Structure 1
Amino acid sequence: MFLNVHSSYSLKYGTIDIKRIVAQARALNIHQLVLTDINNSTGAMEFIRECEKQNIKIDKTEQDEGNVPYLIKPIIGIEFRLEHKLLYFGIAKNKEGMKELNDFLTWHNLNQEPLPIKAPAFKNAFIVYPFCKDKQPALASNEFVGIRSEQLNHLYTYPIKNFKDKLVVWHPVTITNKVEYRLHEYLRAVSLSTLLSMVQHGAKCTKKEIFIPEQEIKEQYNQYPFMLVNTSKLMDACNMDAYLTTEKFSKNKKTYTKTGTHGDKILLRRLAFRGLKYRYGLDNEVARQRVEKELKVIEALNYHAYFLITFDIIRFAINKCKFYHVGRGSGANSIVAYCLRITDVDPIELDLYFERFLNEKRTSPPDFDIDFSWDERIVIQQYIFDRYPKGDVAFLGTMSTFKDRAIIREIGKVLGLPKDEIDGFTDPTKERENRLNPTYTKLLYVHQLMKNMPNQRSIHAGGILISEEPITYYTALDLPPKGFPTVQWDMYEAEFIGYEKFDILSQRGIGHIREAIKIIKENIGDEVDIHDFKTFRHNPKLNAELKAGQPIGCFYIESPAMRQLLKKLTCEDYLTLVAASSIIRPGVASSGMMKMYIQSYHAPDKVEYLHPIMKEQLEDTYGVMVYQEDVIKICHHYAGLDLADADILRRAMSGKYRSKVEFDKLVQRFFDKAKELGRDEEITKEVWRQVSSFAGYSFSKAHSASFAVESYQSLYLKTYYPKEFMVAVLNNYGGFYSRWVYVHELQKTGAKVHLPCVNNSDEVVNIKGNDAYLGLIGIQGLEGKFIESIPRERRLNGLYVDLEQFVKRTQITLEQAILLIRLGALRFTGKDKKTLLWDIYTYLGHKQKKLNHAELFKTIHKTFSLPELENSEIEDAYAELELLDFPLNFSMFNLLKTNYRGDIMASDLHNHIGKTVKMVGNYVCEKTVHTIKNTKMWFGTFLDAKGDFFDTTHFPNTTPMYPFKGKGCYLILGKVVEDFNFPSIEVLKFAKLDIHMNPVAVD
């Protein structure tokens, strides 16, 4: 009798999650119901799966005793609303019917067309319109009218005899109880962006929209038994068995070639062995056997198409677009992927296990993570959508939920609280004070109800699905701002349904590499083979730069924490960098693994191994299970588990295994198999303790290796082509640090960096020989059209000759011209800024007239002599601060009122270990962390007056609540400490230094 059930996926409307819907229905012995969420089918597959799951849990004794089991027949559909007004809801008869409903909603979403008042003709779906006493609609054979129990009194004036077979019971379900009704009201207010008291009655559900026993419904409609019959017939006609499978099958595209699976198998084998020759030569038997082993597993799991589709994407990127990519993640454990150039990580060299990526016992599908440059990814995405049939390819969605502070803000707004009061409620420092406030207590109560509820659908960072059958069998599609069709559920639901995603991701590090290679060729003429990693990874000059620990601009290794780690490890080779890329992760560092690894790295002879197998397998990482592959190794070599079971156990300990019973069986097998091998029981217990404690923190070695390859490639470019590389970093919007840090780094290479100039600058930074000109794109406030048109006009018609010609050719406005003058971008005229500011008003100071580009005669203007106008370096520095966000040629140190630059410089810190020193540092960045006692501490990074980095630690007991006050120079008093030969400052006192005021502001 429940044709219209809303879950919490009816965003900011329904309050009940899928699991509770099924549980409540079972508790009331409801045998069939229809999930119809508003304008989405997000929960449809989850609902069917949950019904099946809870049906399986029926107590066997109930069936044996002849009791009626609480079996639930799931039926799915969609409720269609236009601007919050209910139009009708559709109920699928079968899988084809759900596709029709999804297709209907998808068409309107993708074409951004409003839903029609009248539903189209569906062959395999029913439509139910809400009852209206003043309207008797013309209904098709599949259409009905739903009437609520409170509307039954209207039937006295309604022509029942004309609609007797068309009226059905309509008892919507949206909430569970009165408390959830209040929550529903809050959700509606948030959705409508209005005050709680202003939500109209028609925008809310009624308090009766709860599950009740079916007998109660029958009593409500006892005078109209034909409605009960009509409703039962409608529901009985629905069957979702096509979605119910005892075995989970992959929904991805099953074949790549036209000849099907057999053709895929032949093609993948041919490509793999062609790549084997490219990667390893003709006579590497170890590699050949590894390829054969992997192909056997790929064939058994019918994974050919997934590899071939990924290969096709990479081939398009390399051959057609000349794009650079990085294949990372667990896919780098595969030698077949290495041979297909999906990844550049050699799994044999790094002893990577294919089972970490794919094995016959793995229940969840793996995927490849492919990174492209941030500005090239869209081309690859478009290729995929064009390459495969429309409707068979879509982006993955995500579902954001209501989070802590955001909830408080939303609730505060709908209650009409002033902004200052809301800000106070979200301030963690006022938590104790707030708890005494009754309004805050009220907010907290609603917060607990709303927390983690679905809030809004969005788009996954890069996941794409390529389906064997139309995706609308399983979901309707949205059209987010990116403009690509997107499914209405996330990656976890995709995995449950049986989809493996293709992760097409992006990062700026690849853009740095790509553009650096281009600039090197243009500025120097050198051709750089950046993929020749095996050659330059052993380059001593490169490794010396790595050991120096100053790789600013280099992907993944430029952050303060990574720079420190590189120095602590005296890292000077690829394998150590791979380990560093893993242990730098927050979970690893906080678990103590990082410190243990560094200690063991510097004293390998003092490492004590529990067992010879532990030494044999973990000697490269000094007994520490740095990688997920290490966990697999120990489970396999020490305990005797096969590699597939070892990976399943590793996944389970990482929280990615859902069956506790099966997990416990695997743990027992670990101990049983170890005993069979004659391992000492006490040692086995300790080995298991280490395995289980490390497994949750360890990182994929293949992932780390992929990062390390890219880091080396960046470091190679920075080492041999530092100027061009830093220009590339700037043109790809930097990395970890602010833009000025990279400009500073460019200056350190010896390049002469110039302020923007309309006769020399392009949109982005350019370099010619040793001269680098900052781009117009970095000027704050300069409009995009002038950023593009000024250099374009210069390239087309030659250099600008004087101010008047510049104004006429560019059609620039007064305000925009003033920005350029104040920054010195019109210095080609030979006039100072004050004179130019005076002159620009001659041309543009009155109401601007449209000036033509072409003139028959040049108008000669009178010239006037101006008094001498003063310019100062400080005034210029302030203009640069305002318009570039940093002064280029007049450092922050020069702005200080004091000439004091500290007692020591960063390069001399190692000579003052244990001493208290004074330093002056230009603020670079900070990091806030919470201690075990939930107090704050900070880590700071600064540059000294010589331009060298140093780092600070600010403990809670010696630091004010907010120690950093933005950019500028700070006086630092602290103790020099050393950790594995890396010196830093433990701050005792800390204050921002005063600077000279802007002369213009003073005037």
Structure 2
Amino acid sequence: MTFVNLHVHSMYSLLDGAMTTDTIASRAKELDQPAIALTDHGTLGGIIKFWDSCKKHEVMPIIGIEAYLAPGSRLYKEPIEGIPPAFHLTLLAQNTTGLHNLYRLSSLAYTEGFYHKPRVDAELLRQYNDGLICLSGCIKGKIQWILLQYATSGDNDFLQLAVDELNTMTDIFGDRFYIEVQRIIEEQEEVVKLQRRLCNKFNVKAVATCDAHYAKAGDMDFHDQIICLSTGKTIKDDNRMGPFDNIYIKSEQEMRSLWHDWPEALETSMEITERCKQLSTEDPFDNKEHVFPVFTDKKEEDYKIFEEKAWEGLKERGLASSEEHKERLKYELQTIKEMGFPSYFLVVSDYCNWAKKSNIAVGPGRGSAAGSLVSYCLGITEIDPLKYGLLFQRFLNKGRRSLPDIDCDFCMNRRSEVIDYLARRYGADKVAQISTFAFFKPRGACRDFARAQGEPYSLGEEASKLIPPNIRGREPTWEEAIKFSPQLLSNRFNNIISAARKSEGIIKQRGIHAGGVVISPVPLMEVAPVCYGRNKEIVTQWDMKDLERIGLVKMDMLGITALTVISSTVELITQITGKIFDITQIPIDDEKTFDLICQGETSGLFQLDTGGGIRELCMRLKPRSISELSAISAMYRPGPLDSGVTDEYVDRVNQKKPVTYLIPELEPILKDTYGLLIYQEQAMRIATDLAGYTLEEADNLRKAIGKKKPEDMAKEEKRLISGMEKKGIPSSKARTIWEQIKVFADYGFNLSHSVAYSYITYQTAFLKTHFPVEFYCALLSLHVDNRDKLAEYLSNCRRYDIQVLPPDINQSGSGFTIADGVIRFGLSAIKDVGDKVCKKILKVRKNKPFTDLVNFYDRTRSAGITKRTIEALAKAGAFDSLEIPRSAVLDVLDKLLLRTRDMERYKKKMETYNKRLTRYLEREDFRNEQRKRGERLKPSLKKPQKPLPPQPVEIPDVQELNIEELMRLEKEMLGFYVTSHPLYAYEMEILRETTAHCGSLQDHVNGEHVVIIGVLAAVKRFITRKGQQMAVLTLEDLHGTAEAVVFPRVYSTIYNSIVEDAVVSVTARVEGEQGMSKRLIVSDVRKLKPKASKYTKRQEMKRTVTGAKIYLNESSLQKAQLVEKVTDSYKGMIQTQVFLQIGDNSFILTKTPSLSERGLLLLKHNGIRVKEMFSREED
């Protein structure tokens, strides 16, 4: 063997390399090559997985990188005419020193040299070249590029430049520099001849490489499509980059044939391999010690501070007199110290408490860490673990030498401030976020490769719809998908599926871990390479598992939207009331809050805002405590739902089934969950209380049944049953308990996490109950870019009688705001306005409000406000308060722009006039002096004529647009109907005819037939391969939007009814499995007759309705169903009761959920007697 591939790209060369690290190593083994290199573009992200793959296949790994070399200084970041911003350069590590220099070079290329690409330069190479071998690179290498310019131009200056670059590299690397030669494209042949001349003249060795991007010749088409996805082209584009038919991992025989005229270039690869052997003798990534950041300068000092702070915290929590708490704290402190984790706890406590002092919302706890009393005492969590029976050993135990995992939640909008604090506290060069890698998955891959192949979108979409629903939270594999949907293998999908299946396990894009942050005691680039995120955040090039491999500890700092909503709501409450509102001090047993949850009013609530299923579960279970709320989040998951445990639990709670225990000893453990095994901590308690396990051993049992390894399961089964038998439990009962625990492993939930998150759920419910306006304002602001959620929350505002006003040029802020108890749209929510323009308008308005349209335009014109912006503001109603009809604004805009042009001309004319007038007056003064002296007068100048200013723009007196047009424009700019809605005129039809609405599709099962009345917000028509017409509709109602598909057979009969903006009644079948988004398969569309819009603008209330009594008599009793439907569809804040009136006597039938004013109005319109109660007169 005389050849080794030294230039190979894996999938970590994103959307360029088309093979995994395992494929690379196995291909080298297949070709009987003793070693192979990994040289990804500008990154070391795959080197640890590459190392493991090579060791698995018994191939020597050579670690390298294809670096980008700046044409001059890496710090110069301006274009240079005729020269690319970066050249290519191949670097290989000989030993550990070289490996760590690769870390530094790769990192500094991002943090100092990034310009189009992460770039190094000669200065960095001089500083960090020890232990590195350098190859001159591919055709895009600097020397090769210069030689190519010489070959095409014949200019000898280029040849001298190539010599100069060669001298620079040999000066830096000495005999560790090699000329890299390739024969891939035609242009390289001339370059190879010139390279050979240089090698001979300057005694520099050459090495042949094949620049492999895929494994075998047959993978070319797949690589071609990967490149198309990267460049936005298709394989049908003649001007695409590629295909490249020979950049695969070649055998020695193929390379010998290719380099028959220069065999020495092949043999050099073996020389380089020998020089790199030192690195492969020991695993450079194996660090069995955890590398913790130290809180102080000394570890011993950390231990002392740790214990002091924990005992102080116990006292501050008011628990210093509790013997139970003191014993628990002693045990936890001792365990944490023995395991060497005090510094870790101090660091986490420090940033959590800093965030709280900085008024950054911090979650009450997350995961098993909520079971730690130390965490509670240090201010990391806000849950007393003893109050809820939470186990420390579920979080940490001496028998499990894994790292502690303390996940902390922060307000999403301010999480970055906490990371900035860490950078200041420990050093910016020691703190980084963590990379994640997203892989091609079947559903998305169908769409991706249909696009790459230039196929119609509908074909990829059709294939993706055949992929089955997620399996326990993960997307199915291709094997599972094809087993579920064999039609994926049909001829029409053949090319798409063939490529998509090859993409399984291939990286699609790099991202940033949602919460992971590492803090290193030394500069990070000394132990791991870093790079830039999208917004130039410092991010490790390695993922979480690779970082753990080298001993770095991940800090979990997640940003969650619920805390942002809570934080924003609290801020609004404080602003409006003038009093500081502390969310941590609210009562945790508020009756009205639990009433809201029991009624199923879960929209916008943390964890409960996931569709109709969990809403229904809340209404069935009717929680009245944090513990009962915790059970809902534990129950509403695939495991308990599929196994029937959830239904069993509901029946037991509602006394439809008895609460039973297999043996009496289980009652103390399972009493709170009605005799059912739900939480992992309960399984641990069974092991300790009934089988004699220690808590540490019980946690090992939990892990064993979770992983389901046969050998571990057999061991634990024998141990558990034997332990129970020793406690006097019959063998048959013990075996039944073991079988229940095995089944439980599929759905058991972490009680610590469930309780902690239920606190957040409760807080959102409390705010929604007592401060609905502030709560919805915060929700709307947070979801301003999510049209579906905005539609849902705006619908809720209507039901709750929370008035939402359109944007106003003098009243609106950037986001949603509150004034006088109503919510107002922000200016940045308007299409074609955006955040930057909005900030400019607000800056100008800060001094004084705008008085009219001309005043607005004159003051904002210099800030870059365009005609398009003003049109958008007008259509959205932002100028309504200036008492200018929207039609008038749109009509006068062109005149306003012409006036601006005329004003500019007028200014220039005035400048000329003033200059001429000055000369005229000066000449007249001079003539007067001459006249006094009796001298001959100079000729006089003609007096200039003063230009007339342009006529002021007058707002035309035109009729306002009709309500339908106003609504259409408002919808166009805001995405929603705000001041009115076309469906307001059809509310009675909606009540009578509909069986569902767009926001309730998740409540309906696959195949169920429904009727929905809505507006056709969008209509997309398609021609099928058979030449038939079909359509995809966006149907919108008062509750949200839904996709509705009209296949050709139905389309041919109802196409006349499919008109954009029309109000239609749609009969359809619901399609979509549980947990997936659902759509409608249309069977009929009926266009409703136009009606004059009503309720166009909500009238200002003179009195606030606080309660209502609804009376049904014998003649109107048949309308009870209508009352039920109205109360279900128009929930609000008005407490109502339904009475049956017989003669002079009235009997309460039911207390209904709270109604909205619109709901009461509809009942009145239907002849139902309603008696309202008012609070007071409004100003």
TM-score interval w.r.t. the shorter chain?
A: 0.7 to 0.9
Report the Cα distance in structure 2 between the residues aligned to 1:346 and 1:968, rounded to whole angstroms.
57
1:337-352, aligned counterparts within 5 Å?
337-352=375-390
1:360-371, aligned counterparts within 5 Å?
360-362=398-400, 364-371=402-409
Report the Cα distance in structure 1 between the residues aligned to 2:634 and 2:387, rounded to whole angstroms.
17
Q: CA deviation at 1:796?
A: 1.7
Does residue 702 (structure 1) correspond to residue 718 (structure 2)? The answer is no
**SS in structure 2 at match of 1:375:** helix
Q: Structure 1 residues 892 and 344 mapped into 2: Cα distance closer, same or farther (>3 Å)?
A: farther
Report the Cα distance in structure 2 between the residues aligned to 1:829 and 1:200, rounded to whole angstroms.
56
Per the alignment, residue 125 of structure 2 pairs with: 120
Report the Cα distance in structure 1 between the residues aligned to 2:968 and 2:200, rounded to whole angstroms.
84
Amino acid at match of 1:306: Y
**SS in structure 2 at match of 1:391:** helix
Report the Cα distance in structure 2 between the residues aligned to 1:564 and 1:969, rounded to whole angstroms.
30
Per the alignment, residue 537 of structure 1 pairs with: 588
Per the alignment, residue 387 of structure 1 pairs with: 425
Per the alignment, residue 996 of structure 1 pairs with: 1090
Amino acid at match of 2:355: A
Report the Cα distance in structure 2 between the residues aligned to 1:801 and 1:117, rounded to whole angstroms.
58
1:541-690, aligned counterparts within 5 Å?
541-559=592-610, 560-603=612-655, 606-655=658-707, 661-662=711-712, 665-690=715-740
Amino acid at match of 1:251: V
Does structure 2 conserve the Cα–Cα contact (< 8 Å) formed by 1:635 and 1:646?
Answer: yes
Q: Which piece of structure 1 moves more, 761-770 or 343-352?
A: 761-770
Does residue 44 (structure 1) correspond to residue 47 (structure 2)? The answer is yes
Per the alignment, residue 838 of structure 2 pairs with: 787
What is the TM-score when the length of structure 2 is the normalising length? Answer: 0.70
Does structure 2 conserve the Cα–Cα contact (< 8 Å) formed by 1:370 and 1:504?
Answer: yes
Per the alignment, residue 143 of structure 1 pairs with: 176
Q: Which runs of 5+ in 2 are unaligned?
A: 70-83, 148-161, 184-188, 469-481, 911-947, 1015-1036, 1045-1049, 1070-1079, 1094-1179
Per the alignment, residue 109 of structure 1 pairs with: 110
Which of 403, 423, 429 is residue 441 of structure 2 equivalent to?
403
**Number of residue pairs aligned between Structure 1 and Structure 2:** 937
Does structure 1 conserve the Cα–Cα contact (< 8 Å) formed by 2:67 and 2:89?
Answer: yes
**SS in structure 2 at match of 1:561:** helix
Which of 803, 807, 818 is residue 756 of structure 1 equivalent to?
807
Per the alignment, residue 825 of structure 1 pairs with: 878
1:3-42, aligned counterparts within 5 Å?
4=6, 5-22=8-25, 32-42=35-45
Per the alignment, residue 179 of structure 1 pairs with: 218
User: Considering only CA atoms, is the larger Rg found in Structure 1 or Structure 2?
Assistant: 2
Does residue 808 (structure 1) correspond to residue 858 (structure 2)? The answer is yes
Q: Deviations over 1:719-741 (max 9, x none)?
A: 23332332232233379963244
Q: Structure 1 residues 867 and 322 mapped into 2: Cα distance closer, same or farther (>3 Å)?
A: closer
**SS in structure 2 at match of 1:517:** helix
What is the TM-score when the length of structure 1 is the normalising length? Answer: 0.81
Per the alignment, residue 915 of structure 1 pairs with: none
Report the Cα distance in structure 2 between the residues aligned to 1:602 and 1:80, rounded to whole angstroms.
67
Q: CA deviation at 1:126?
A: 2.0
Does structure 2 conserve the Cα–Cα contact (< 8 Å) formed by 1:188 and 1:204?
Answer: no
Q: Deviations over 1:378-417 (max 9, x none)?
A: 2122222333234322111111212224434444444444
Q: CA deviation at 1:313?
A: 1.0
Amino acid at match of 1:256: F
**SS in structure 1 at match of 2:178:** strand
Which of 755, 758, 762 is residue 712 of structure 1 equivalent to?
762
Amino acid at match of 1:633: R
Report the Cα distance in structure 1 between the residues aligned to 2:196 and 2:47, rounded to whole angstroms.
38
Q: CA deviation at 1:463?
A: 1.1
Q: Structure 1 residues 567 and 102 mapped into 2: Cα distance closer, same or farther (>3 Å)?
A: same
Amino acid at match of 2:782: N
Q: CA deviation at 1:832?
A: 4.0
Which of 350, 357, 372 is residue 334 of structure 1 equivalent to?
372
**SS in structure 1 at match of 2:398:** coil
Does structure 2 conserve the Cα–Cα contact (< 8 Å) formed by 1:326 and 1:372?
Answer: no
Report the Cα distance in structure 2 between the residues aligned to 1:670 and 1:36, rounded to whole angstroms.
52
Report the Cα distance in structure 2 between the residues aligned to 1:964 and 1:365, rounded to whole angstroms.
60
Per the alignment, residue 727 of structure 1 pairs with: 777
**SS in structure 1 at match of 2:65:** strand
Does structure 1 conserve the Cα–Cα contact (< 8 Å) formed by 2:635 and 2:646?
Answer: yes
Does residue 926 (structure 1) correspond to residue 967 (structure 2)? The answer is no
Q: Which piece of structure 1 moves more, 291-300 or 717-726?
A: 717-726
Per the alignment, residue 939 of structure 2 pairs with: none
Report the Cα distance in structure 2 between the residues aligned to 1:447 and 1:677, rounded to whole angstroms.
57
Does structure 2 conserve the Cα–Cα contact (< 8 Å) formed by 1:79 and 1:90?
Answer: yes
Q: Deviations over 1:426-470 (max 9, x none)?
A: 554999897686463233223322222123322212211112344
Q: Structure 1 residues 849 and 677 mapped into 2: Cα distance closer, same or farther (>3 Å)?
A: farther
Per the alignment, residue 561 of structure 2 pairs with: 508
Which of 670, 687, 693 is residue 743 of structure 2 equivalent to?
693
Q: CA deviation at 1:49?
A: 4.0
Q: CA deviation at 1:52?
A: 5.5
Per the alignment, residue 877 of structure 1 pairs with: 967
Q: CA deviation at 1:992?
A: 7.0
Q: Structure 1 residues 294 and 939 mapped into 2: Cα distance closer, same or farther (>3 Å)?
A: farther
Q: CA deviation at 1:318?
A: 1.6
Per the alignment, residue 493 of structure 1 pairs with: 546
1:153-232, aligned counterparts within 5 Å?
166=205, 175-194=214-233, 196=235, 205-207=246-248, 209-210=250-251, 227=268, 230-231=271-272
Per the alignment, residue 62 of structure 1 pairs with: none
RMSD between aligned residues:
4.8
Q: Deviations over 1:623-651 (max 9, x none)?
A: 33322323333343344443334333433
Q: Structure 1 residues 252 and 549 mapped into 2: Cα distance closer, same or farther (>3 Å)?
A: same
Which of 770, 774, 780 is residue 821 of structure 2 equivalent to?
770
Amino acid at match of 1:93: Q
Q: CA deviation at 1:291?
A: 1.6
Amino acid at match of 1:573: S
Q: Deviations over 1:274-300 (max 9, x none)?
A: 111122332011112222211122112
Report the Cα distance in structure 1 between the residues aligned to 2:227 and 2:42, rounded to whole angstroms.
16
Amino acid at match of 1:353: L
Q: Which runs of 5+ in 1 are unaligned?
A: 55-70, 904-917, 955-959, 976-985
Q: CA deviation at 1:779?
A: 2.7
Q: Deviations over 1:549-608 (max 9, x none)?
A: 324433223443332211110122211101112222344323333222212222287133
Report the Cα distance in structure 2 between the residues aligned to 1:271 and 1:601, rounded to whole angstroms.
42
Q: CA deviation at 1:526?
A: 3.1
Amino acid at match of 1:292: K
Report the Cα distance in structure 2 between the residues aligned to 1:835 and 1:172, rounded to whole angstroms.
65
Q: Structure 1 residues 847 and 323 mapped into 2: Cα distance closer, same or farther (>3 Å)?
A: same
Q: Structure 1 residues 891 and 950 mapped into 2: Cα distance closer, same or farther (>3 Å)?
A: closer
Report the Cα distance in structure 2 between the residues aligned to 1:873 and 1:262, rounded to whole angstroms.
75
Q: Structure 1 residues 96 and 939 mapped into 2: Cα distance closer, same or farther (>3 Å)?
A: farther
Report the Cα distance in structure 2 between the residues aligned to 1:990 and 1:613, rounded to whole angstroms.
60
Per the alignment, residue 1122 of structure 2 pairs with: none
Does structure 2 conserve the Cα–Cα contact (< 8 Å) formed by 1:87 and 1:117?
Answer: no
**SS in structure 2 at match of 1:537:** coil
Q: CA deviation at 1:548?
A: 2.6
Report the Cα distance in structure 2 between the residues aligned to 1:170 and 1:584, rounded to whole angstroms.
56
Does structure 1 conserve the Cα–Cα contact (< 8 Å) formed by 2:211 and 2:248?
Answer: no
Q: Structure 1 residues 758 and 459 mapped into 2: Cα distance closer, same or farther (>3 Å)?
A: same
Q: CA deviation at 1:616?
A: 2.3
Q: Structure 1 residues 382 and 204 mapped into 2: Cα distance closer, same or farther (>3 Å)?
A: farther
Does structure 1 conserve the Cα–Cα contact (< 8 Å) formed by 2:319 and 2:325?
Answer: no
Q: Structure 1 residues 895 and 861 mapped into 2: Cα distance closer, same or farther (>3 Å)?
A: farther
Report the Cα distance in structure 2 between the residues aligned to 1:306 and 1:434, rounded to whole angstroms.
53
Does structure 1 conserve the Cα–Cα contact (< 8 Å) formed by 2:532 and 2:539?
Answer: yes
- Identity, in percent, stands at 22
Amino acid at match of 1:994: L
Q: CA deviation at 1:964?
A: 13
Report the Cα distance in structure 2 between the residues aligned to 1:129 and 1:693, rounded to whole angstroms.
60
**SS in structure 1 at match of 2:405:** coil
